[in-house]
Amino acid sequence: MLHDRDIAQLLARLCPMHLAVDEQGRVMHIGPTLAKLLPDKRKEDACLFDLIEVRRPSGVCDMNALLARQRQKLSLRLRGHGGHAFKGVFVAVPGQGGILDLSFGIAIMDGVRDFELSASDFAVTDLAIEMLYLIEAKSAAMEVSRKLNQRLQGAKIAAEEQAFTDTLTGLKNRRAVDHVLPRLIDRGEAVTLMQVDLDFFKAVNDTHGHPAGDHVLQSVAHVLVQETRQGDCVARVGGDEFVIILVGEVDEAAVAHIAQRLIERIEAPIRWRGDTCEISASIGIATNAFGSGDTGETLWARADTALYAAKNGGRGRFRMA
């Protein structure tokens, strides 16, 4: 025959979130998991309805009402833990009171987190354990998926950046200009396009070799970046051809000043392994004045015409279209 202590131990293993009450509703013992959820001041011998509040069905506030609803699903909460909802079922034990068994239902993850529960706090046959494993597996899979998406997005951004970058100078390339220029014009932005073509660059390659030519191109790229603003676009679009897109309203005097500064700095001798490389630059400039109706192609063509005028005028100078 099972004694009360044996019954309590069995209930603790099979229903770790139970309350056993006598016929008057006085708590005789509490399951170990439920004991973790109750404040320390809640002791056995307390009245059941001092510990719980039955929310549905309504009106269950004494033992007679609870006995009338035995074996029915109850929605309840623990007093003092209003934020947590529980499911429950009450089974009467003739002449001895009854057992109220509780569960978290679908809110199990909140309960596990808020009360720091583990698998050992649930019956081994409780489907809640399998739900926990499924949720943990889903969370792990989602985390792996999130990290994978981050890597893919990073790889996509890196690939796009590489596709728009000149590998020698680190500037934008022709593809980037073809992408940026028409979009700026379509947005109604004021744009000044400067074509910069190096003079006497072939002589550097012929005299000092291509490594010296690469060094000169990198030096010129450094000058172009220094003499422009962060929001402007600086690109290498050919062997010794560069483009600058000045974004926003820039008056003609300021553009002329920028062009002259570029020419002066590019004409400064560039040292290469004890030798001196000397080049110059010709610059053609075109601005899409308000209402001009320029497209990227027409603006480029106008700047190109201005560049040839600068070269035909003696090189080392700029012209505006």
Q: Between β-strands 318-320 and 52-56, what pairing exists: parallel, antiparallel or unpaired?
A: unpaired
What amino acid is encoded at 26 in this protein?
Answer: R
Measured CA angle at 156 (ends 153, 162), to 5 deg: 140
Report in angstroms the alpha-carbon separations of 246 from 40, 236, 281, 290.
71, 15, 18, 15
Q: Which residue has the tokens 């172009």?
A: 224
Residue 7 clears pLDDT 50, i.e. is over it: yes
Element (H, E) at 159: helix 127-163
User: Domains (ranges, CATH) in the chain?
Assistant: 4-131 (3.30.450.260), 174-320 (3.30.70.270)
Which residues does residue 101 pair with via DSSP β-bridges, in sequence order?
Answer: 18, 89
| Dihedral-angle region of residue 291 (phi above 0 means left; psi in -120 to 50 means alpha; beta otherwise) | left
Q: Please state the φ and ψ torsions of residue 223, each to the nearest 5 degrees.
A: -65, -45
pLDDT reported for residue 1: 37
Residue 42 clears pLDDT 60, i.e. is over it: no
Stronger pLDDT, 162 or 233, i.e. the higher one: 233
pLDDT above 70 as % of the chain: 84
- Judge whether 212 and 205 are in contact, CB under 8 Å: yes
User: Which among 18, 27, 16 is positioned nearest to 50, based on CA atoms?
Assistant: 27
Structure tokens at 182: 């028409």
How does pLDDT run across 237-268, given as a tens digit for each residue?
Answer: 999 999 999 998 889 999 999 999 999 999 99
Which residues does residue 47 pair with via DSSP β-bridges, in sequence order?
Answer: 26
| pTM to 2 decimal places | 0.55
- Judge whether 140 and 148 are in contact, CB under 8 Å: no
Cβ contacts of 272 within 8 Å, gap of 6 or more: 208, 212, 215, 216
pLDDT reported for residue 2: 39
pLDDT reported for residue 265: 96
Sheet-wide strand order for 241-247: 233-236, 241-247, 191-199, 280-287, 318-320
Report in angstroms the alpha-carbon separations of 309 from 194, 262, 312.
13, 18, 5
Cβ contacts of 317 within 8 Å, gap of 6 or more: 263, 282, 283, 310
How does pLDDT run across 175-205, given as a tens digit for each residue?
Answer: 999 999 999 998 888 899 999 999 999 999 9
How does pLDDT run across 94-147, given as a tens digit for each residue?
Answer: 878 898 988 877 666 667 777 777 767 777 666 666 666 666 666 667 777 787
pLDDT reported for residue 115: 73
